[in-house]
């Protein structure tokens, strides 16, 4: 009914417009108040009717309409949402889950979860040189977390001196407020300083005693839980996570030391090492005692399971939980209830319910699950996204979305925030240990179909590189296989510091291609060159050609796709690279998007007419320009538009990123995260988008060069993906076409 009415209105519009023109030729009607009233009334009725029939949220511009949604976080707004990562976890007998992590962008390093909800957060863990840590425990009165406190210069309050960091235990009440104690340190006297050399790596309590792993001194320190005075200490080499059994003895993870594998050691409360130990676990990352007195161990090696040990005598494995092989069992990468990946926390409540957190690899994001004693998934809390953006698979018309490590399935008929289903984790840390996602921090995603085959391209915050991934469902399921990589030059030094990747050229830029298909960087797989070092942006067009914008006069590099090799990798090389001159209007080129079907180029950067104020390397510039017939040599813009940019040096107004889809150009600002929508044919601004009530009408800053990505569906609808780093999600705008 709605669509029919809109169609009828569209058919009537030309006649209506002509009728108005004819009427307006009459001078009397031009001046008539009655005519003006009738004209306004008629237009108002049509606008109102269209507004009702479209059933979309209005923007206030009266031209286009949109809705706001999101992906990647169970909760889309508010201060209580799933944190970026959970690096430590303690489960209380009543099922309350206390967590800790080194960093959360919105300041929720330590959270409190129950019944699938975030019910609280520990305050004052963020900012003022503070951060969380990798240990947490609680008793009936207090929560204890590992945290760090850095110096703040000269201040009247209690902070470390310059160049010093406190590694401490901070005490909170069960509501999440700091709980000071006599002789406590820090501005509110709630911190117990344990070291200035290394962080606290384990915490546990029994009765009135708090046990602390002091990694720096290879000691376990024991404190009074109320007064926080030290009772005693004893030696344990490389102590990590601690749990205390029903006999009040300690089980301690001993971290890897050089070539020695990790172990789980057994100690009495007084510090006597007991003979029982577990030495056949590849990578234990977390331990807990269940309601039956058994030892639970997070095995983060290839098994990716929670192992269960009877510890009444000699520790004996009596069970396991989760699919053997974790996320890589069955169809590799496919998300299933019992498939775990990157375990960081295990525990049970008094009823035997099981809690497990998976963080993925290289801190992919929080995946906290509760299972019944029989293994049925009861709830799941997801916080999968941090400094990332999404793109749509063109073959599935926006139903399949990809971020740098995850794949989502969308159902746009559902309510905001309920449209996405987490379908796959695309990184295999065991089969492809040299995957660049394990060694770098990519954050901008391009999904392309090249010759019908899917590829994933990733960039980083500084435009330093472009990573390329292929897919082979027959051999690797849902995994994105490392296929290639472009890396910019770093002057006379190696492009990427450190030991990874192996065999990289000693200087200059390079292209890597996985010639033998094993996902490893090997000596004969590099193509090298030397070029201008300052990259403005990357682009991959629909044919699979790679484009690079450099911040110089001859600043465009075109790498035509040569072919796809026998292993499925796209071939690019420097011998076929084309250098193209930057149009004269630009003196600092930043972003580039080329569309071969129409031979249209869109460029952004700072121009001669609107130069940069200072050198903010992360922004898109001051203008966007469109060039038609680009391949024929045209460098005269069809149009050019001034976008929000900094003119004061304070960066209060600037544009972070642009994206072109269909007949729209989208640009998003850095601090306000507002999306400006332009007509791609004329350059005229059409609309302005802001985060809607579905996401609390809020967003953090846009931190990445590709913080916006747009896609036009076959029904004309636009999907606009915007990075939302602050609250750990990707905002999705849906615009009526």
**In this predicted structure, what is the pLDDT of residue 134?**
97
Round to whole Å and give the CA distance between 240 and 99. 16
**In this predicted structure, what is the pLDDT of residue 64?**
62
What share of the chain has pLDDT > 90, as a percent?
Answer: 85
> Which tokens go with 720?
């606009």
Round to whole Å and give the CA distance between 137 and 122. 13
Position 651 confidence tier, pLDDT thresholds 50, 70, 90: confident
CB atoms within 10 A of CB 416: 16
CB atoms within 10 A of CB 207: 9
State the average pLDDT for the chain.
Answer: 91
Tens of pLDDT, residue by residue over 653-708, are: 999 999 999 999 999 999 999 999 999 999 999 999 999 999 999 999 999 999 99
Give CATH for domain 88-383: 2.120.10.30
**Beta strand 273-278 with 284-289: parallel, antiparallel or unpaired?**
unpaired
* Residue 634 near residue 627, CB atoms below 8 Å: yes
**In this predicted structure, what is the pLDDT of residue 615?**
86
Position 499 confidence tier, pLDDT thresholds 50, 70, 90: very high
For residue 3, pLDDT over 90 is answered with no
Q: 395: Cβ–Cβ under 8 A, 6 or more apart, which residues? A: 449, 454
List, in sequence order, every beta strand (DSSP E) within 426-555.
Answer: 442-450, 453-460, 465-471, 480-487, 509-513, 526-529, 535-540, 546-550
For residue 439, pLDDT over 80 is answered with yes
Sheet arrangement for strand 111-114: 88-91, 97-100, 111-114, 117-121
Question: Is 575 exposed, middle or buried (CB count within 10 Å of its CB: 0-12, 13-18, 19+)?
Answer: exposed
Q: 403: Cβ–Cβ under 8 A, 6 or more apart, which residues? A: 71, 72, 384, 385, 388, 389, 390, 445, 730
Tens of pLDDT, residue by residue over 200-253, are: 999 999 999 999 999 999 999 999 999 999 999 999 999 999 999 999 999 999
Q: What's the average model confidence in pLDDT over 425-436?
A: 98
For residue 52, pLDDT over 50 is answered with no
For residue 156, pLDDT over 80 is answered with yes
Apex 266 CA angle, 260 and 269, nearest 5? 135
Span 391-735 CATH architecture:
7 Propeller (2.130)
Tens of pLDDT, residue by residue over 10-46, are: 444 444 344 433 433 333 323 333 333 333 333 333 3
**In this predicted structure, what is the pLDDT of residue 538?**
97
Position 492 confidence tier, pLDDT thresholds 50, 70, 90: confident
For residue 267, pLDDT over 90 is answered with yes
Position 117 confidence tier, pLDDT thresholds 50, 70, 90: very high
For residue 59, pLDDT over 90 is answered with no
Position 79 confidence tier, pLDDT thresholds 50, 70, 90: confident
For residue 50, pLDDT over 60 is answered with no
Tens of pLDDT, residue by residue over 220-230, are: 999 999 999 99
Tens of pLDDT, residue by residue over 560-602, are: 999 999 999 999 999 999 999 999 999 999 999 999 999 999 9
Q: What's the average model confidence in pLDDT over 41-57?
A: 31
**In this predicted structure, what is the pLDDT of residue 621?**
97
Position 609 confidence tier, pLDDT thresholds 50, 70, 90: very high
Round to whole Å and give the CA distance between 223 and 210. 5
Position 94 confidence tier, pLDDT thresholds 50, 70, 90: very high
For residue 151, pLDDT over 80 is answered with yes
Residue 497: HSE in the Cβ half-sphere, 13 Å Cα cutoff? 2
Burial per residue of 73-110, b for 16 or more beta-carbon CB atoms within 10 angstroms, e otherwise: bbbbbeebbbbbbbbbbbbbeebbbbbbbbbbbbbbbb
Position 634 confidence tier, pLDDT thresholds 50, 70, 90: very high
For residue 276, pLDDT over 90 is answered with yes
* Residue 724 near residue 70, CB atoms below 8 Å: yes
Round to whole Å and give the CA distance between 104 and 125. 9
DSSP-based three-state secondary structure for 17: helix
> Which tokens go with 171?
């005490």
Tens of pLDDT, residue by residue over 506-537, are: 989 999 999 999 999 999 999 999 888 899 99
What share of the chain has pLDDT > 70, as a percent?
Answer: 91
Sign of the alpha-carbon torsion through 38, 42, 44, 48: positive
For residue 454, pLDDT over 80 is answered with yes
């Amino acid at each position: 009914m709605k669509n029919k009415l809109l169609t009828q209105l569209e058919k009537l519009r030309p006649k209506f417009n002509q009728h108005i023109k004819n009427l307006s030729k009459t001078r009397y009607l031009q001046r008539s108040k009655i005519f003006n009233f009738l004209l306004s009334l008629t237009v108002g009725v049509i606008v109102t009717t269209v507004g009702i029939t479209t059933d979309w949220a209005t923007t206030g511009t009266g031209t286009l309409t949109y809705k706001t949604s999101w992906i990647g976080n169970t909760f889309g707004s508010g201060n209580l949402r799933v944190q970026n990562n959970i690096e430590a976890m303690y489960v209380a007998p009543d099922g309350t889950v206390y967590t800790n992590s080194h960093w959360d962008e919105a300041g929720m390093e330590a959270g409190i979860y129950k019944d699938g909800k975030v019910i609280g957060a520990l305050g004052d863990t963020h900012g003022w040189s503070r951060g969380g840590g990798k240990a947490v425990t609680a008793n009936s009165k207090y929560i204890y977390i590992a945290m760090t406190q850095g110096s703040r210069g000269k201040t009247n309050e209690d902070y470390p001196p310059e160049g010093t960091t406190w590694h401490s235990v901070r005490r909170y009440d069960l509501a999440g407020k700091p709980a000071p104690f006599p002789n406590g340190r820090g501005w509110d006297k709630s911190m117990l300083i344990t070291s200035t050399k290394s962080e606290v790596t384990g915490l546990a309590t029994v009765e009135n005693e708090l046990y602390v792993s002091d990694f720096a001194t290879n000691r376990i320190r024991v404190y009074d839980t109320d007064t926080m005075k030290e009772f005693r200490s004893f030696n344990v080499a490389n102590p990590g996570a601690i749990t205390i059994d029903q006999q009040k003895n300690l089980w301690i993870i001993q971290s890897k030391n050089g070539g020695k594998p990790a172990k789980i050691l057994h100690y009495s409360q007084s510090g006597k090492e007991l003979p029982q130990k577990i030495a056949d676990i590849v990578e234990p990352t977390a331990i807990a005692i269940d309601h039956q007195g058994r030892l639970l161990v997070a095995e983060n090696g290839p098994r990716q399971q929670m192992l269960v040990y009877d510890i009444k005598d000699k520790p004996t494995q009596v069970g396991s939980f989760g699919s053997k092989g974790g996320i890589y069992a069955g169809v590799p990468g496919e998300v299933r209830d019992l498939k775990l990946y990157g375990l960081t926390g295990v525990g049970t409540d008094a009823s035997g319910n099981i809690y497990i957190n998976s963080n993925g690899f290289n801190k992919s994001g929080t995946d906290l699950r509760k299972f019944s004693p029989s293994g049925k998934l009861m709830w799941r809390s997801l916080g999968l996204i941090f400094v990332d953006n999404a793109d749509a698979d063109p073959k599935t018309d926006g139903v399949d979305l990809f971020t740098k490590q995850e794949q989502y399935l969308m159902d746009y008929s559902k309510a905001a925030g309920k449209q996405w289903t987490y379908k796959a984790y695309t990184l295999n840390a065991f089969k492809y240990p040299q995957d660049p996602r394990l060694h770098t921090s990519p954050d901008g995603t391009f999904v392309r179909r090249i010759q019908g085959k899917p590829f994933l391209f990733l960039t980083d915050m500084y435009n330093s590189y472009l990573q390329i991934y292929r897919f082979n469902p027959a051999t690797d399921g849902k995994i994105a296989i490392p296929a290639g990589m472009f890396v910019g030059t770093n002057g006379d030094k190696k492009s990427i510091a450190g030991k990874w990747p192996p065999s990289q050229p000693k200087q200059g830029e390079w292209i890597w291609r996985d010639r033998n298909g094993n996902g490893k960087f090997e000596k004969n797989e590099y193509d090298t060159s030397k070029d201008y070092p300052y990259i403005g942006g990357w682009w991959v067009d629909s044919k699979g050609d790679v484009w690079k914008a450099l911040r110089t006069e001859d600043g465009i590099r075109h790498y035509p796709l040569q072919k796809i090799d026998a292993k499925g990798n796209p071939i690019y090389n420097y011998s076929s690279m084309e250098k193209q001159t930057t149009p004269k209007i630009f003196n600092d080129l930043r972003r580039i998007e080329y569309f071969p079907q129409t031979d249209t180029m869109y460029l952004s950067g700072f121009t001669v007419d609107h130069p940069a104020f200072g050198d903010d390397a992360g922004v898109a510039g001051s203008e966007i320009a469109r060039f038609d017939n680009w391949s024929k040599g045209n460098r005269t813009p069809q149009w050019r538009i001034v976008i929000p940019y900094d003119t004061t040096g304070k960066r209060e107004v600037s544009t972070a990123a642009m994206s072109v889809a269909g007949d729209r150009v989208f640009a998003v600002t850095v601090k306000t995260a507002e999306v400006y929508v332009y007509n791609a044919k004329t350059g005229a601004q059409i609309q302005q988008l802001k985060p809607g009530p579905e996401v609390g009408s809020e967003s953090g800053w846009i931190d990445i060069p590709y913080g916006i990505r747009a896609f036009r569906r076959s029904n004309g609808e636009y999907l606009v993906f915007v990075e939302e780093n602050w609250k750990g999600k990707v905002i999705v705008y849906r615009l009526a076409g």
